[in-house]
Amino acid sequence: MDEKSKQLKNHTKDSGEKLTTNQGVGINDNQNTATAGERGPSLLEDFIMREKITHFDHERVPERIVHARGSGAHGYFEAYDGCDDITKANFLKKGKKTPVFVRFSTVAGFRGSADTARDVRGFAIKFYTEEGIFDMVGNNIPVFFIQDAIKFPDLIHAVKPEPHNEVPQAASAHDNFYDFISLTPEAMHMMMWVMSDRAIPRSYAMMEGFGIHSFRFINKAGESHFVKFHLKPKLGVHGLVWDEAVKIMGNDPDFHRKDLWEAIEDGHFPEWEFGVQAIKEGEEDKLSFDVLDATKLWPEEEVPIRMLGKMVLDRNPDNFFAETEQAAFHPGHVVPGIDFTNDPLLQGRLFSYTDTQLIRLGGPNFAEIPINRPINPTHNYQRDGYMRQTINKGRVNYEPNSLAEGKPAEVPEDKGGFVSYPEPMSSVKVRKRPESFKDHYTQARLFVNSMTPPEKQHIIDALSFELGKVEHKHIHEKMVDHFNHIDHDMAVAIADNIGVKPPKSSAANEDYTKTSDALSMEKGQKDTIEARKVAILVADGFDGAAVETLTKYLKTQGAKAEIIAKKLGAVKAADGSIMEVDKSLPTVDAVLYDSVFLPGGSDSVKTLKEQGAILYFVNQMFKHCKGIAATGEAIEILKASDIKDVNYSDKDLKEDQGIVTAGKTSDDFFKAFKNAIKKRHWSREEKQDMIPA
């Protein structure tokens, strides 16, 4: 058990046997309020009722203005070989293991909104280091909409539900947002990311994390490097398609939350590699962009990522409110070896986050809430305030002092005291953006250039959908003009979709043809199906041997199979064996699974192919470009569906467009099915209109 878990254990308790008040008084009757007679008025003196109702009235703290919808988990970070050459941060020394708590979130929606809305995802990590708390407060996208924090209230006001009718919830497809964005060219790079499939991840464990800002690393020699934080998921980066995400919102709005919880409970611990891009101070001017501009990324081909360790999430919270909801993150929580830069968006966040915690968590003592406490002891002269938990002994609450012998005393730098980097400064006071911040289209073009054709089409589709919800034509025209500065073909396609006159000529820098494979989800896929979910559709008389062997194979690959039938209970195989049904057909949907397997068995197939819900399930799997497999007689189910122009075989192994068929399961069948599960089969998108699902 790590140090943070031990600390939290001291604040964790089971329910116990005796019911008491918060003051420890035993409660004899928890069913009835004290009254003046059996039918008389309630008595104000009933302290049990008053305590219970008062606590209930105050159980909800204000939700976060942004990142309200979130999920969290405990884990650890383990450093690799060390990086003393660029930072003196103790938790990054070779082999060091540090407890962490991670919170994932959407940005725009309220706390009760759905997980799969198109949105940025928060990715915040609290490192409980031996030198204090370090918070990496980032997102799953490496850049942001704005360059200066003074515009943050405007951005969030614009993307939130419109104030006159509180519509729409957890969505950016409305006039206020696009009115603001159309007048904010610096947002165009971020818009390409948010309209890509990265904005609707398959799971938290399948998305990258980024620190967004340029921070500093300081080594023992006092040398400074600009750094960007990165987290690369072990499972690769995967997204949902929009139609799938919309259906999940209605079928299971807690899709990501449940996926994270169940993965950890099942022992499939989410894992990322943590690393940095580093540029020695003084060399940043060699780059074509300003490292202080949060709307710009550092292409990995120009500045490679140096992996510093791995992060694993292996324990779910014991109480959602006490841990996940009360976790207070802050980009200003740093340790020796990490320091700030003059990024104007970061500078504003350093003020905003403390201010936010004061209103959310009741005052300046939010650091004393167990989930927020560092694992190393804290000593200072701060006293009092709402929710103070520490009982400080002695008379001295000021410094310097002689009555307590000057203790606690300041800590020298060589003993771990934090010392700010002595950055030289000499300038006049202005309200002005630097010239180096004014290129708003080049990196947006880099992102679009780096997409595969299906990925680029998804951006066009997303922007066409979003702007299709916008009522004002002048906003349409302004946005198409911005797109024309990024990619002419994209601008023409979107203009055609939303009824705007397409631009005649390109305003983009057509000579800029650079690409970055690191920006494409499709180009970075990994050979794994770990944490994927496979639906097995059965009825009485199914091929039990095929289900058993496939289930065992999937387990060896870290994937999860669920047997689905019309109703819960037991289902009988053709050989007479019995299997328990995991989910009933009315409670699930194809969008909740990564692939489907249809086992043979004449009686089972005869029953299934006559059920509209089964055919709809298969149709959706095809429409969403997911892996499909069938053996023996089950090919008849595929033929009964709306899937067309696919080659099947009920004897020899056949793989066509991510659909695997064979007479029976085999090692080659398993390998082909794994390949079908691990990726989307985008060639099917041309046939989507044929599928009434």
Q: Given the residues 22, 32, 67, 476, select the one marked as catalytic.
A: 67
Q: How many residues does the chain have?
A: 693
Instruction: Report how far apart the first and last C-alpha atoms of the chain are (Å, whole number).
Output: 49
What is the three-state SS of 50-108?
Answer: HHHHHHHHCCCCCCCCCCCCEEEEEEEEEECCCCCCCCCCHHHCCCCEEEEEEEEEECC
Q: In whole angstroms, what is the distance from residue 390 CA to residue 353 CA?
A: 23
Using an 8 Å Cβ cutoff, are 277 and 247 in contact? no
| Annotated catalytic residue 476 | no
Count of CB atoms situated within 10 Å of the CB of 80:
17
Measured distance CA(4)–CA(239) in Å, rounded = 33
**Under a CB-based contact definition with an 8 Å cutoff, are residues 213 and 294 in contact?**
yes
How far is it, in rounded angstroms, from Cα 401 to Cα 407?
8
Token pair in block for residue 267: 């022992």
| Token pair 């035993």: residue | 26
- Pair 547, 512: CB distance under 8 Å: no
* Dihedral of the alpha carbons of 363, 365, 367, 369, in degrees to the nearest 10: -100
Residue 189 appears among annotated catalytic residues: no
Q: Coil, helix or strand for 226?
A: strand
For 602, the token pair is 């004449």
Helix (H, G, I), strand (E, B) or coil at 227: strand
Place of tokens 């950890």: 264
As a dihedral over the C-alpha atoms of residue 605, residue 609, residue 610, residue 615, rounded to 10 degrees, the angle is 150
Chain CA centroid to CA 285, Å: 33
Phi, psi torsion values for 187, nearest 5 degrees: -85, -5
Mind spelling out the 3-state secondary structure of 393-458? CCCCCCCCCCCCCCCCCCCCHHHCCCCCCCCCCCCCCCCCCCHHHCCCCHHHHHHHHCCCHHHHHH
Q: How far is CA 115 from CA 70, 256, 478, in A?
A: 9, 6, 31
- Amino acid identity of 675? N
Peptide bond into 424 cis (omega under 30): no
Q: Report strand pairing: 271-280 vs 224-233.
A: antiparallel
Amino acid at 585: L
Which residue of the set 22, 58, 139, 342 is catalytic? 139
Tell me which residues are annotated as active site.
Answer: 67, 139
